[in-house]
Amino acid sequence: MHIEEHLEHTEPPKDMKKQIWKTFWILFALTVVDIAVYFQLMEYHSGYKNALFIILGVVKAYFIVGIFMHMKFEKKWLPYLIIVPMIFVMYLITLMVIEGNYTSFLR
């Protein structure tokens, strides 16, 4: 059986170059927000601040994986293949952080 040589790609948008620079400025701005929040709330320690940093990190990851790594333009199975396992990993990290807090009472 002849296997198709030419795989049909979902074509990237025509103005890819423009989109790359747009993504760069988004990533730049998000990092600047990170730094600004860090300096503004240096003495303020709270879970909300940490949650904000993590959300900003995930948003940055979305743009890096989606645009730079081209995942946004691939067939839906590839995102499933990569993202579904990572959701479980994020769950594991959350569980172990909670477990670490309990361990601290035993030290």
User: Which residues would be at the binding site for other proteins (CB under 8 A)?
Assistant: 1, 3-4, 7-10, 12, 16-17, 20-21, 23-24, 27-28, 31, 34-35, 38-39, 42, 50, 53-54, 56-57, 60-61, 64-65, 67-70, 74-75, 77-78, 81-82, 85-86, 89, 92-93, 96-101, 103-105, 107
| Residue 49 CB, nearest approach to other proteins (Å) | 8
Backbone angles phi, psi at 44, to 5 degrees: -100, 110
Any idea of the CA torsion for 94, 95, 96, 100, to the nearest 10 degrees? 100
| Residue 68 CB, nearest approach to other proteins (Å) | 5
| Residue 7 CB, nearest approach to other proteins (Å) | 5
| Residue 64 CB, nearest approach to other proteins (Å) | 5
